[in-house]
C-alpha cells in the first residue's frame, strides 16, 4: 500500500509519546519516540521550525538532504512536501526527541510589525540550512515544558505570545535566519507552469500555488486563466483525474492508493469527482478498461 501523505499540523495525531498544543490555529508539537529508522512524507500546511534534541531528523527536499542533529534546527516554508527519516540516538536507547513549531503568515506579519524589521526583496532570499540552537533558544524550549504537562490549563492567548517570543529569539540568534524568517511570507516570483507541474500531484490548494508562485491569489488566478484558458481549480482537477485514469488502466494499485498518489485528500471525494468526470466509478472503470 502507498504511504499516505500526512498534512502537518492538521493530521498529526496525539499519542502517548507526543503532545500537540493547539490554540487559535497555532500549533506546537513535542515528540519523544523510540525508533531505529522511521520514514514518511509531510505536506506542510504552515511554515515549520524543527528543533532536534535527541537523534537525527533527516529531511529530503528540493534535491537536498538536511540532517538535523541534537541542538540543531531547520526552518521550512509552507505548501511543500518533504520526505523524512527519524533515527533514534544509538547511545540513548534508540530514543528521538524533537519539537515542531508551526508558524502562520498572520503571526509573521505581527512579528514584523512589532519588531519593526522589514524583509528584503525576494531576490535576496536565503537558502534553507541547518542551524545550531544557541543557549537562549535552548532555554526557550525548556520554558515550554510546563505547558506540555498541563495543556488544558493554558490561557488561549499564551501560545501566540510564546511563539512571538520564539520569533524574537530567532531573529537575535542569526542574521541569515532572521532574513529567511521574514521572507517566508514573501516568495520570489516564479513561473506558473513550472510551479503547477511540480506540485500537480501534491495535495496543494490554489492558495498554496499562488503563494509558491510569489503572487496574490487574484493575480495567480488571472495569469493562470490567461495561460491555460481555464480556472486553476478546474484544470488541476481534470489533470489529476487524467493521471488517475491512466493508473487505473495500467497499474495494480488500489483505488485508495491512486487517490492519494494523484493529490486527492480522501477516497470519497476522489470517487465522486471521477464519476462526475467519466460517468462511472473508479472501481468500475478499472473493471471495464484495465490492462494491468
pLDDT digits (tens, 9 = 90+) for 7-58: 888 887 655 578 888 777 788 888 888 877 888 889 999 999 999 999 999 9
| Per-residue model confidence (pLDDT) at position 176 | 83
| Per-residue model confidence (pLDDT) at position 277 | 93
Distance CA 29, CA 135 (A): 21
Mean pLDDT of 213-239: 94
Q: pTM score, two decimals?
A: 0.83
Q: Is the pLDDT confidence value at 184 over 70?
A: yes
| Per-residue model confidence (pLDDT) at position 166 | 94
Mean pLDDT of 1-10: 72
For 249, the grid coordinates are: 488502466
Q: What is the pLDDT confidence band of residue 1, given thresholds at 50, 70 and 90? A: very low
Q: Domains in the chain, please, with CATH?
A: 6-183 (2.60.120.280), 192-289 (1.10.10.60)
Give 217's contacts (C-beta < 8 A, 6+ positions apart). 206, 207, 210
pLDDT in tens, 76-135: 999 888 999 999 987 768 889 999 999 998 899 899 889 887 765 545 567 889 999 999
Strand order of the β-sheet with 6-8 is 6-8, 38-44, 81-87, 56-61, 64-68
Q: What is the pLDDT confidence band of residue 221, given thresholds at 50, 70 and 90? A: very high
Q: Is the pLDDT confidence value at 292 over 60?
A: no
| Per-residue model confidence (pLDDT) at position 34 | 80
DSSP run (H or E) holding 291: none
Q: What is the pLDDT confidence band of residue 246, given thresholds at 50, 70 and 90? A: very high
Mean residue pLDDT of the chain comes to 87
Paired sense of beta strands 47-54 and 72-76, if any: antiparallel
Amino acid at each position: 500500500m502507498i504511504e499516505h501523505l500526512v498534512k502537518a499540523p492538521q493530521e498529526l495525531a496525539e499519542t502517548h509519546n507526543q503532545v500537540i498544543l493547539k490554540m487559535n490555529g497555532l500549533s506546537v508539537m513535542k515528540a519523544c519516540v523510540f525508533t531505529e529508522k522511521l520514514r514518511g512524507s509531510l505536506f506542510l500546511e504552515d511554515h515549520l521550525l524543527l528543533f532536534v534534541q535527541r537523534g537525527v531528523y533527516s529531511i529530503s527536499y528540493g534535491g537536498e538532504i538536511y540532517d538535523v542533529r541534537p541542538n540543531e534546527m531547520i526552518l521550512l516554508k509552507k505548501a511543500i512536501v518533504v520526505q523524512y527519516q527519524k533515527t533514534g540516538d544509538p547511545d540513548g536507547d534508540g530514543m528521538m526527541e524533537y519539537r515542531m513549531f508551526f508558524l502562520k503568515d498572520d503571526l509573521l506579519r505581527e512579528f514584523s510589525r512589532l519588531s519593526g524589521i522589514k524583509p528584503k526583496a525576494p531576490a535576496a532570499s536565503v537558502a534553507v540550512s541547518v542551524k545550531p540552537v544557541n543557549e537562549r533558544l535552548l532555554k526557550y524550549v525548556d520554558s515550554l515544558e510546563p505547558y506540555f504537562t498541563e495543556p488544558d490549563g493554558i490561557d488561549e492567548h499564551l501560545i501566540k505570545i510564546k511563539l512571538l517570543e520564539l520569533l524574537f529569539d530567532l531573529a537575535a540568534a542569526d542574521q541569515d535566519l532572521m532574513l529567511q524568517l521574514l521572507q517566508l511570507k514573501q516568495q520570489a516570483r516564479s513561473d506558473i507552469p513550472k510551479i503547477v507541474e511540480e506540485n500537480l500531484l501534491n495535495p496543494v490548494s490554489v492558495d498554496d500555488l499562488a503563494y509558491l508562485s510569489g503572487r496574490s491569489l487574484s493575480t495567480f488566478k488571472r495569469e493562470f486563466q490567461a495561460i491555460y484558458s481555464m480556472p486553476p481549480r478546474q484544470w488541476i482537477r481534470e489533470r489529476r483525474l487524467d493521471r488517475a485514469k491512466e493508473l487505473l488502466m495500467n497499474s495494480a494499485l488500489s483505488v485508495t492508493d491512486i487517490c492519494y498518489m494523484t493529490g486527492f485528500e480522501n477516497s470519497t471525494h476522489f470517487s465522486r469527482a471521477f464519476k462526475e468526470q467519466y460517468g462511472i466509478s473508479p472501481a468500475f472503470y478499472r473493471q471495464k478498461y484495465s490492462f494491468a
